Amino acid sequence: MKRTTKKILTLGMTAALATGALAGCGSSGSGNGTAAQSGSADGEKVLTFGCQNYGDGLVDPTNQINAAWNCMRYGVGEALFRFNDNMEVEPWLAESYEVSDDHLTWTIKLKDGIKFSDGCDMTATKVKESLDRLKVEGPNGSSTPERFLEYEAEITADDEANTITIQTVTAYPDLPGNLAYPVMAIVDVTDTTDWDHGVIGTGPYVIDTFTEQVGYTLVANENYREDVPYDRVELLYMSDASAKAMALKNGQVDLVENITNVADIQELQNDENFTVDIASGVRCGFSWINFNGVLGNDALRQAVIMGIDDEGICASNLIGGLYTPGYSVLPSNLSYGYDTLENPFAYDAEAAKQLLDDAGIVDTDGDGIRELDGENIILDYVYYGNRLLKEFAQAHHQYLNEIGIEVNEREGSSDDQWSNLVAGDYDFNGNNWTTVGNGDPTEYMANWYSKSASNYCGYANEEYDQLYEQLLTEMDEGTRTEIITRLQQILIDDAAVLVDGYYNSSMIYSKNVGYAHIHTADYYWLSTEIVPAE
């Protein structure tokens, strides 16, 4: 069988860690080890980082998507592959890979000299254990790792060759992209005892302590393969965008992610004491629509989307240009045929009212609220307060009131939002997702595939399902683009998603930090790129 070999170039790693810096396998892995030399009065380099609390701070990649992202964002976990800012796959813990012509056999060569933070070698067997755990624990959480690697896949480890071989039943067009997703982070299964808040990974930082609703103290991984810039990171949870800006300006924190208050962003951009780093947007802000509730009614759903002026909201002072308006679940700057799509439900409040009237969805008792099946239409709108989801929900509320539909807003934590989504306890559920999280939108588009474990909205369309199943095994890029374009149009025609627009992520830092960067795939927050000012 002919095999295709793909070698990917990376920056050189340090050949070995300093003598005495290695912790014994199974130890805590914390300490200063290879951290940068001291610069503070007590000889310790400390970064204070303000960020949103997602998933109640959990870091077990199998628990839920937010926990998987936390593990990677906090600099604790790393994957076999990662993405650059062009969303191209690069090696991380892997050195290279080979794939068979039928795309069923993938042999991955691991980098030499990688250690977990507890000092254990990252052997092929350890990597297999980490990936195998997904099959065992995945069904107990909501990360749905089978979206990235089918449970039927057989993994074999060769410690002598330092390789793992993955034999799949389904042909994957680009398995390394799937293995780059945070759910697939490689962790030490044998020695991790606290899966909620103490996962052992290979990243530059190690969890020292966790305080509920406050944050984490992280310390430099003394077994890391590169110099770690900070001895300690104080990661503080801040849910309010203005609170992040205030904390940054008063010196409480050195670095924050995603300030979304327009006035604060503009002020910081104009202040020479701060640097604002913005990534090109591959995120889509949208609300799930629950087809198992009142919005299962086609006319109501169509009128709702037609009754909201998305372009006006995105252009308003409320949003301040932080979102680009659009009506598809994939951003317009991606090469998936956005310019060929047609929107039959463009904003037209009067047409929305007429559509409701024609469907018999009218206000019969004069209270200003239309009724369906004898009940006032009061849509349950769940969201969390980050990336302007609250502002969109409030704007949607106002627009829907104008066409005779009431809204009950429920703001909570990101964990509340996710729990309500999984439970189906919502009519609208506000989210902001990376659309090409594994370098391709296939996994993201599974959210509307009726047979997917990640379809939490009850949407089902036979043509969508057939095309999605074709996409799973299609290797030709041109055909894949055609399928993805058609999938978008089906969702638009079915009024299946309430799209806010396309968001640009950001990091903002003070002069205490020499450099920081928000990546297009924004799972890479605390990395060795972030360094103290000299």
pLDDT over 90 at 279, yes or no: no
Say what the pLDDT of residue 77 is: 99
3-state SS, 330-372, equals CCCCCCCCHHHCCCCCCCCHHHHHHHHHHCCCCCCCCCCCCEE
Backbone angles phi and psi of 497, in degrees to 5: -140, 140
144-160: average pLDDT: 96
Domain ranges of the chain: 283-503
Q: Which H or E run contains 497?
A: strand 497-503
Residue type at position 405:
I
CB 73 within 8 A of CB 55: no
Give the pLDDT confidence of 439-467 residue by residue, as tens digits.
899 999 999 999 999 999 999 999 999 99
The pLDDT assigned to 39 comes to: 41
Identify whether the C-beta of residue 262 lies closer than 8 Å to the C-beta of residue 271.
no
CA distances from 113 to 116, 373, 412, 443 (A): 10, 66, 43, 32
- At 19 the pLDDT is 31
Task: State pLDDT tens for residues 221-234.
Answer: 999 999 999 999 99
Which residue in the block uniquely carries the two structure tokens 């005495």? 20
Query: 286 vs 106, 372, 415, CA distance in Å?
Result: 35, 25, 17
**In sequence order, what are the residues at sequence separation of 6 or more whose Cβ sits closer than 8 angstroms to the Cβ of residue 75?**
203, 204, 205, 218, 233, 525, 526, 527
The Cα 459–Cα 448 span in angstroms is 6
What is the per-residue pLDDT across 175-207, written as a single tens digit (0 to 9) for each?
Answer: 999 999 999 999 999 999 999 999 999 999 999
Residue pLDDT, tens place only, 319-367: 877 899 999 999 998 989 999 999 999 999 999 999 999 999 999 999 9
The pLDDT value recorded for residue 341 is: 98
pLDDT attached to residue 391 = 94
Out of 3.40.50.1000, 3.40.50.2000, 3.90.1150.10, 3.10.105.10, the CATH code matching 283-503 is 3.10.105.10
Pairing verdict, β 232-237 and 378-384 = unpaired
Q: CA of 346: how far to CAs of 91, 287, 302, in Å?
A: 43, 17, 10
Confidence check: pLDDT of 26 > 60:
no
pLDDT confidence of residue 399: 98
Q: Could you say which DSSP state residue 380 is in?
A: E
- Report pLDDT digits (tens) over 34-81: 333 334 557 899 999 999 999 999 999 999 999 999 999 999 999 999
Q: Which pLDDT score is estimated for 87? A: 86
pLDDT at residue 27 in the model: 55
Question: What's the confidence (pLDDT) of residue 180?
Answer: 97
- Judge contact between 432 and 504, C-beta under 8 A: no
Edge-to-edge strand order for the sheet containing 154-158?
A: 3-7, 94-100, 105-110, 163-167, 154-158
- What would the two tokens of residue 390 be? 């609250």
CA torsion sign, 260 to 266 to 269 to 272?
negative
- Tell me the CB-side half-sphere exposure of residue 260, using CA atoms within 13 A: 24
What is the average pLDDT across 403-430? 96
Tell me the DSSP string of 155-190.
EEEETTTTEEEEE-SSPPS-HHHHHTSGGG-B--TT
The tokens for 106 are 């993938």
Does the pTM of the predicted model rise above 0.95? no
Q: Rounded distance, CA 339 to CA 419, Å? A: 35
Which pLDDT belongs to residue 303?
99
CA distance readout (Å), 318 to 75, 262, 314: 33, 7, 8
Strands 255-257 and 46-51: parallel
Query: Residue 249 — very low, low, confident or very high, per pLDDT cuts 50/70/90?
Result: very high
